[in-house]
């Protein structure tokens, strides 16, 4: 009888060779535990930990996982009534909290530098009948990339991630783990700053924060992540990590692993890392996730946004003064669908507090040439192979698969319709006609109203996403203390 991976159509000689190599590595390295990890709707890793001797069989036949993990809102409450008749009518196969099966990619094997004798494998979920789980967000990006590939394009993405690191104070961990204070969601730890802030790129503050930044550096590099730099950001305890550009799927995988890894490694050393956009303190700076993106020719690898000379008759404010015609169409697509993509780039209630004037965060649907106040920042010059578009709309808590898929679908629509971009802005905080949504509810409605995105993601997925996020909104509305709600919902968990 064939293994479950073969029934799913993904097991071939190449995968078997990778599985054999990984099994040998597990045996030779003294690994005792192997984590089978999967990325949920909210961009967080979940999964099961197996003893080493069970790993090889699990890579062939899968690991059982309760299906309600796909139905959780940001507090881990199940947003569907799985035990009521018709409760999951829109999601066949999810009734009664039955099992899905996680299948690992054997080539993703890594030993975790902070956890002794522990390894990690990246997984995706499958239905028990060997059909793919359509709601899996990594699969959403894979489908979007397949559409790009049909046109001969690939996507490269560079990650620029702002986040906060705090030192857990003496009683901070105790409060969080006090059984008398347990609740759903639980308390965050008590914390102190690692640097006082308001001195951008300060060498003195970098030295003050050296210990946690070294943990981030060593963790990322030990996992093979393409880290370029670690920087002191403007806000108190705020830092930034910048990564080399890679193909989009790898970049998304790297983002998921980076966030989970640094939180765990720092926690063991007495620090709390958070990718919450606006931590719950009086004087903070919002964190963004700036996504650098370009399309490449699949056959040659050439940057398809690059232009050798400005288009005839153009001025510096025209898109084709810097970008190729394809690049302009893609840029215009991102602008046309900015309101619809906003909730996929900034999916939390907290994240929408970032969109305010003169804060190095966008406020309006505009683009600019090397303009950090604009939503889309075009970087590069004619003849520059690094020419790209930076989207400054995202928050660091975003699910990277959905963030990148939203860019592909918006950009492809611009290419198909050959949309033209307006002139670049020189007043990003002026009176623009189209604003970025400033509340999660408005952004959800904008996504539902965008027929191109609804069709591209699939109505079933959009309805599912809406329901999960509405649960989050409803609970926030019902909270008597909304600041405490965000501390528990986001600061302790993201």
From CA 173, how far away is CA 313, in angstroms rounded?
Answer: 63
**Residue at a domain's end among 133, 162, 187:** 133
Q: pTM for this structure?
A: 0.97
**Residue at a domain's end among 133, 162, 189:** 133
- CATH number, domain with residue 240: 3.30.590.10
Say if residues 74 and 348 touch (Cβ distance below 8 Å).
Answer: yes
In a domain, 202, yes or no: yes
Residue 360: per-residue pLDDT: 83
In a domain, 140, yes or no: no
From CA 307, how far away is CA 289, in angstroms rounded?
Answer: 27
Same domain, 118 and 173: no
Nearest CA among 369, 362, 289 for reference residue 328: 369
Say if residues 243 and 228 touch (Cβ distance below 8 Å).
Answer: yes
Say if residue 185 is preceded by a cis peptide, omega within 30 of 0: yes
Say if residues 168 and 272 touch (Cβ distance below 8 Å).
Answer: yes
Say if residues 139 and 404 touch (Cβ distance below 8 Å).
Answer: no
- CATH number, domain with residue 104: 3.10.20.70
**Residue at a domain's end among 133, 165, 180:** 133
In a domain, 258, yes or no: yes
Nearest CA among 125, 97, 171 for reference residue 10: 125
In a domain, 379, yes or no: yes
Tens of each residue's pLDDT in the chain, 494 residues: 689 999 999 999 999 999 999 999 999 999 999 999 999 999 999 999 999 999 999 999 999 999 999 999 999 999 999 999 888 888 988 999 899 999 999 999 999 999 999 999 999 999 999 999 999 999 999 999 999 999 999 999 999 999 999 999 977 666 788 888 888 898 999 999 999 999 999 999 999 999 999 999 999 999 999 999 999 999 999 999 999 999 999 999 999 999 999 999 999 999 999 999 999 999 999 999 999 999 999 999 999 999 999 999 999 999 999 999 999 999 999 999 999 999 999 999 999 999 988 778 899 999 999 999 999 999 999 999 999 999 999 999 999 999 999 999 999 999 999 999 999 999 899 887 799 999 999 999 999 999 999 999 999 999 999 999 999 999 999 999 999 999 999 999 99
Same domain, 182 and 241: yes
φ, ψ of residue 392 to 5 degrees: the values are -100, 15
The count of domains in the chain is: 2
Say if residues 333 and 456 touch (Cβ distance below 8 Å).
Answer: no
From CA 83, how far away is CA 87, in angstroms rounded?
Answer: 7
134 burial level (CB within 10 Å; 0-12, 13-18, 19+)? middle
In a domain, 257, yes or no: yes
Same domain, 400 and 477: yes
Same domain, 165 and 121: no
Same domain, 125 and 236: no
Domain around 307 = 146-491
Same domain, 46 and 178: no
Same domain, 129 and 163: no
Residue 1: per-residue pLDDT: 62
Residue 173: per-residue pLDDT: 65
Same domain, 355 and 435: yes
Sequence-distant (6+) residues with CB within 8 A of 107 are 18, 22
Same domain, 236 and 269: yes
In a domain, 207, yes or no: yes
From CA 194, how far away is CA 214, in angstroms rounded?
Answer: 13
For residue 297, the tally of other CB atoms under 10 A from its CB is 12
From CA 96, how far away is CA 77, in angstroms rounded?
Answer: 15
In a domain, 105, yes or no: yes
Residue 406: per-residue pLDDT: 98
Same domain, 217 and 351: yes
Q: Is 370 left (phi over 0), alpha (psi -120 to 50) or beta?
A: left
SS3 readout for the chain: CCCHHHHCCCCCHHHHHHHHHHHHHHHHHCCCEEEEEEECCCCCEEEEEEEHHHHHHHHHHCEEEEHHHHHECCCCCECCCCCCCCCCCCCCCCHHHCEEEEEECHHHCEECCCCCCEEEEEEEEECCCCCECCCCHHHHHHHHHHHHHHCCEEEEEEEEEEEEEEEECCCHHHHHHCHHHCCCCCCCCCEEECCCCCCCCCHHHHHHCHHHHHHHHHHHHHCCCCEEEEEECCCCCEEEEEECCEEHHHHHHHHHHHHHHHHHHHHHCCEEEECCCCCCCCCCCCCCEEEEEEEEECCCCCECCECCCCCCCCCCCCHHHCECHHHHHHHHHHHHCHHHHHHHHCCCCHHHHHCCCCCCCCCECCEEECCCCCCEEEECCCCCCCCEEEEEEECCCCCHHHHHHHHHHHHHHHHHHCCCCCCCCCCCCCCCCCECCCCHHHHHHHHHHCHHHHHHHCHHHHHHHHHHHHHHHHHHHHCCCHHHHHHHHHHCCC
In a domain, 141, yes or no: no
Same domain, 434 and 455: yes
Same domain, 208 and 272: yes
Say if residues 289 and 394 touch (Cβ distance below 8 Å).
Answer: yes
Strands 99-104 and 246-247, sheet pairing: unpaired
């Amino acid at each position: 009888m064939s293994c479950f991976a073969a029934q799913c159509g993904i097991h071939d000689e190449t995968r078997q060779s990778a599985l054999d190599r990984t099994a040998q590595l597990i045996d030779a390295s003294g690994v005792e535990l192997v984590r089978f990890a999967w990325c949920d709707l909210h961009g967080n890793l979940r999964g099961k930990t197996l003893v080493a001797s069970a790993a090889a069989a699990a890579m062939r036949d899968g690991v059982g996982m309760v299906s309600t993990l796909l139905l959780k809102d940001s507090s881990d409450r199940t947003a569907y009534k799985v035990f009521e008749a018709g409760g999951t009518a829109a999601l066949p196969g999810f009734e009664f909290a039955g099992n899905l099966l996680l299948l690992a990619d054997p080539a993703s094997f890594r030993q975790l530098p902070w956890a002794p004798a522990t390894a990690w494998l990246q997984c995706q979920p499958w239905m028990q009948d060997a059909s793919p789980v359509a709601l899996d967000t990594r699969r959403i990006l894979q489908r979007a990339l397949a559409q790009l590939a049909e046109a001969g394009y690939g996507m490269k993405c560079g990650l620029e991630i702002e986040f906060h690191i705090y030192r857990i104070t003496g009683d901070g961990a105790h409060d969080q783990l006090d059984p008398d204070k347990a609740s759903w969601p639980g308390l965050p730890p008590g914390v102190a700053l690692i640097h006082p802030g308001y001195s951008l790129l300060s060498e003195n503050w970098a030295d003050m924060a050296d210990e946690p930044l070294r943990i981030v550096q060593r963790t990322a590099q030990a996992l093979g992540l393409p880290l370029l730099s670690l920087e002191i950001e403007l806000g108190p305890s705020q830092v930034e990590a910048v990564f080399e550009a890679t193909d989009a799927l790898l970049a998304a995988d790297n983002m998921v692993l980076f966030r989970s890894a640094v939180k765990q490694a720092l926690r063991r050393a007495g620090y709390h890392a958070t990718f919450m956009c606006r931590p719950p303190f009086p004087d903070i700076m919002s964190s963004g996730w700036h996504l650098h993106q370009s399309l490449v020719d699949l056959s040659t690898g050439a940057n398809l946004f690059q232009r050798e000379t400005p288009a005839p008759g153009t001025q510096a404010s025209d898109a084709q003064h810097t970008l190729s015609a394809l690049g302009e169409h893609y840029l215009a697509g991102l602008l046309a669908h900015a309101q619809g993509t906003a909730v996929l780039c900034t999916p939390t209630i907290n994240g929408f507090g970032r969109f305010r004037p003169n804060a190095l965060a966008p406020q309006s649907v505009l683009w600019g040439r090397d303009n950090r106040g604009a939503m889309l920042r075009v970087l590069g010059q004619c003849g520059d192979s690094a020419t790209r578009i930076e989207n400054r709309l995202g928050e660091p808590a975003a699910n990277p698969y959905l963030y990148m898929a939203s860019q592909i679908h918006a950009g492809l629509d611009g290419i198909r319709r050959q949309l033209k971009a307006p002139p670049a802005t020189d007043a990003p905080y002026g009176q623009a006609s189209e604003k970025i949504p400033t509340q999660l509810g408005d952004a959800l409605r904008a996504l539902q109203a965008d027929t191109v995105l609804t069709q591209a993601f699939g109505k079933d997925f959009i309805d599912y996403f809406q329901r999960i996020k509405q649960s989050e909104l409803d609970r926030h509305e019902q909270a008597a203390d909304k600041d405490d709600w965000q501390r528990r919902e986001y600061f302790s968990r993201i």
